[in-house]
Amino acid sequence: MLESRQLRCFLAVAEDLHFGRAADRLGVAQSALSAQVQRLEAELGVRLLNRRKRAAVTLTDAGQLFLAEAGAAWAQLQRAEHVGRLAARGDAGEVRLGYVASALTSGLLTDTLKAFRQAHAGVRMRIVPMETPRQIESLADGLLDVGLMRPRPQYPEGVAAELLRSEPLEIAMAAEHPLAARPSLRAQDLKNETFIVPQFNETAGFGDNLRRLGALGGYAIEPACAVNDFVTAASMACAGYGIVLAPRSLKNFAPGGLVFRRVEGFDDEVRLVMAYRLREPAPAVQALLRVARGLAADSEHSRENNSTSRSI
């Protein structure tokens, strides 16, 4: 089996056609350089260089043929080493990322991707919209690397989650709705309203927020219109089909004519977590987790500063 140092020594001599100059350039003794080339020739079973005491070193016919292949092999070895070092630093590879709609509307997805790309542009990202239950399953099965999702009381063995962002929930309705004229609402005001409910098939998460809103007003919320996502719910609310309990950031994607109102005494928030496998060996995935944690820490620090400023 040929060794990389043998190739390097041969290429240096073939370029300089002088053992002394090649040895100086490589920073090795001339005798060591000569020995490496001799071992290479012995390994191949052919003489690659013509060595004469009073004449310049020249390549044999076999040496000429071998030179082209050796140069290509050396370049590939260098590239492989470079890619390996990039992968070790998390600057190469692939990350499969799932996200819920709130991660998009809140800006969490965009902020995370932008910050990660600035530091790790060589990593390929596979981004998949996916609701929380399926994300959890995909993480446990190894089909996803990281998930931006709503929190759950517990996760499968080997999967953990960290809080990244929170935002308040408000009532979204058409501008023509009678309640839209009020600057804020009470839970009791919503008793006879038609609720459009996104993610109706989830038994936890957003469904808990609806139950707490109804309990605050003294009634049970029955979804009169169930849809799969908040964007669809916003469009239906804007058309007058009902109202939606939605994250405030939905304003960024809502159609014109939709207004948002706060519910007095209702302090529920939409929380977004980053879920991942605890035993995750991929450096690129670890790098993404570090970037997301850094953004979350910066966001929390900013919120604390704003809170302090308001209290002064």
Q: Output the domain CATH number for residue 195.
A: 3.40.190.10
200 and 110 share one domain: no
Sign of the dihedral through C-alpha 152, 154, 158, 163: positive
173 and 141 share one domain: no
264 and 279 share one domain: no
Q: Are strands 269-277 and 146-149 parallel, antiparallel or unpaired?
A: antiparallel
Last residue of a domain, one of 62, 88, 114: 88
Helices (H), the chain: 4-16, 19-26, 30-44, 61-88, 101-105, 108-119, 132-141, 206-217, 230-238, 283-311
Please identify which residue in the block is written with the tokens 């001599």.
Answer: 13
190 and 255 share one domain: yes
**Domains identified in the chain, total number:** 3
218 and 189 share one domain: yes
160 and 289 share one domain: yes
285 and 146 share one domain: yes
139 and 217 share one domain: no
Q: What CATH number is given to the structural domain containing 37?
A: 1.10.10.10
Residue 163 CA to residue 165 CA, distance in Å, equals: 6
The pair phi, psi for residue 109, each rounded to 5°, is -60, -50
* Predicted local confidence at residue 308, as pLDDT: 46
Closest CA to 230 of 213, 194, 257, 254: 254
- Amino acid at the residue 167: E
Residue 176 CA to residue 241 CA, distance in Å, equals: 12
User: How big is the chain by its Cα radius of gyration, in Å?
Assistant: 32
- All residues at 6 or more sequence positions from 165 whose CB lies less than 8 Å from its CB, including other chains: 106, 108, 271, 272, 296, 299
Per-residue pLDDT of the chain (312 residues; tens, 9 = 90+): 677 888 888 888 888 888 888 888 888 888 888 888 888 888 888 888 888 776 688 888 888 888 888 778 777 777 766 666 666 666 668 899 999 988 988 899 999 999 999 988 888 999 999 989 999 999 999 999 999 999 998 999 999 999 999 999 999 999 999 999 999 999 999 999 999 988 655 555 677 889 999 999 999 988 778 888 888 889 999 999 999 999 998 888 877 889 999 999 999 998 999 999 998 778 889 999 999 999 998 776 555 555 444 444
227 and 180 share one domain: yes
CA 250, distance to chain mean position in Å, is 22
* Predicted local confidence at residue 173, as pLDDT: 95
Contact 43, 2 (CB under 8 A): yes
Last residue of a domain, one of 88, 109, 144: 88
263 and 175 share one domain: yes
193 and 159 share one domain: no
264 and 277 share one domain: no
* Predicted local confidence at residue 20, as pLDDT: 83
Domain extent, residue 114, equals 93-164+271-311
Last residue of a domain, one of 27, 61, 88: 88
